[in-house]
Amino acid sequence: MTATARAQKFSPIAAPDALEDSIDRATDALLALGKSDGHWCFELEADCTIPAEYVLMRHYRDEPIDGVLEGKIAVYLRRVQGVHGGWPLFKDGAFNISASVKAYFALKMIGDRLDAPHMARARAAILAHGGAATSNVFTRALLALYGEIPWRGVPVMPAEIMLLPKWFPFHLDKVSYWARTVLVPLLVLMAKKPRAVNRLDVHIAELFTTPPDEVRVWPKGAHQTFPWTAIFGAIDKLLHVVEPYFPKRSRDASIVEAERWTTKRLNGVDGLGAIFPAMVNSLLMYEALGVSSSDPRVVVAREAIERLLVVTDTQAYCQPCVSPVWDTALVCHALLEVGGREAQARARRALDWLAPLQILDVSGDWAARRPDVRPGGWAFQYANAHYPDVDDTAVVVAAMDRVARADGNNPYATRIARGREWVEGVQSRNGGWGAFDADNTYHYLNHIPFADHGALLDPPTADVSARCVSMLAQLGDRMETSESLQRGVDYLIADQMKDGSWFGRWGANYIYGTWSSLSALNAAGLAHDHDSCRRAVAWLASIQNPDGGWGEDLDSYKLDYRGHERAPSTASQTAWALLGLMAAGEVDHPSIARGVAYLQQTQAEHGLWEEARFTATGFPRVFYLRYHGYGKIFPLWALARYRNLTRGDSKRVQFGL
């Protein structure tokens, strides 16, 4: 009987010894996946656009054709094609025009025949949705580099942006870290307008309903509204006319500054911003500037991209980035909840691996808003010194504190103090926290034509803010004495949705945000009978699936969201709901027993949980993630917490997470 079938044959929660067996098997399996130096790093999968762009990057540069690798990438791209003929942004998702154009282009470049059934279905689907001209800005920029569309099909972002004063309405400091790292090298490409080598001379004219040279109106983002669209649209039209006449001196100076900015943040083999799009743009920027292929900057930029590949015997894909710090910190929390000598020892070893990755000597881009704050955060990736992650830092610090409590000594005291100092220092004025920057709230910028993705900014969000509140409270802060904690709690309460849930920016979606917020409010000492907690508990209980689990689709990020829509249960989302309910003091709630039973019944023979669905978010509505570790970490964490609360002296969660 499959795990899904077992879940559908719901039965009451198993006996305590069966619960212990579930925990033991999951713990053993999770420990076996650790690296030899003590850390964990699971695969991080996005949609088809990343592997497709990887293929197109190789042909753009005229790299030697690796038929074996391209063949494996083609297998992956064909496998994730949707039943609608195109490609979705997540498993079983709706057709997406930009993903479909890139995947089709890559498969055609690899050598798939146009009359192959999957190519014919894809082509028909793309044309039925308006053709390649309706793709988003980043896709159109790629097509312009290949000469498939004219550059007037891409909003103007002049390189002179690099020279703008801080007071100007648009400045690099006013957009998110990911926008900066992707945009700066792209400014050079947009100024130089190089052309792909494309030695195979592959083109996709068949994907346009109107010849690109005849297209007069290019699409905008669904979130972009009047009057901003009219204002910024008029500015863009003007820039298209006047940009060719910008003075050569300022253009040259701008390009020099963009190259300097990029090189300063190149980040070795971990790459610019440690994210794939920025890495590729930096590589192509150096080539557009005539930098030799043997130059160390080019060599290291190319190596950074290659390190993102996941290659198996049968298929291959490219990750958008890697997540070792995040994965390792979450595993630590799960193992500390499990308890026992081996789990505690492995958590301590993992934290010893994490400790030296703390960034203490680089004041990154975040310092533009907080120049007087000392660095002290952790990045999401192996290295990303200019861009420490607030969420990661709070989770690492909380794990270190928990180990210190268990051991009776605190070898991490200095690191905890510096991490806390940095987190407090980057709190935004409204009391919340963004993921990488403080006060990144220039919302009008999401209406410029370039920002059709709607993700130009990094404003405070409930999930990240909740993690910071959890950390501060676990470290001993109280609302009566800590202004930072009180402001964080006030932010969370004010940010709660009318239905009782909280929005999840980095995890899917309201289940994730609600787990995060309930954990924080519990840690901060908010009474469990507080209205915010009661409404959240009622919401979680109301959306539980008949099989005992919880599920939420990524379509919940749609602009016209009107409330929860049932979706298949997943292990990670079930675990988040359970952890949230337990944080609210509801360990004896009937929904808890049913959720625990769901996790036990869907546990695989190997001890962990299979989770094919995407349950995390890069950018709402445009880019989603599947953390391969989530179905391995969170269910174990939830089961262990349930055991501890039902067998311990207190039914109140004692930790921030």
Distance, in Å, from the CA atom of 236 to the CA atom of 537, rounded to the nearest integer, reads 48
**3-state SS class at 119:** helix
Residues belonging to the chain: 657
φ, ψ of residue 507 to 5 degrees: the values are -140, 160
Which is nearest to 344 in space by CA: 331, 357, 358?
331
Residue partners of 603: CB distance under 8 A and separation at least 6: 3, 22, 25, 26, 609, 635
DSSP state of 315: -
Please give the angle made by the CA atoms of 485, 488 and 489, to the nearest 5 degrees: 90
DSSP state of 478: -
Q: Which one of the listed residues 47, 327, 391, 495 is annotated catalytic?
A: 391
Longest distance between any two alpha carbons in the chain, whole Å: 77
φ, ψ of residue 647 to 5 degrees: the values are -110, -10
28 flagged as catalytic: no
Distance, in Å, from the CA atom of 466 to the CA atom of 273, rounded to the nearest integer, reads 25
Residue partners of 346: CB distance under 8 A and separation at least 6: 31, 34, 38, 335
**3-state SS class at 504:** coil
Distance, in Å, from the CA atom of 239 to the CA atom of 242, rounded to the nearest integer, reads 5
- Distances in Å between the Cα of 301 and the Cα atoms of 48, 53, 155, 322 are 22, 16, 26, 16
Distance, in Å, from the CA atom of 578 to the CA atom of 187, rounded to the nearest integer, reads 46
- Catalytic residues, which ones? 391
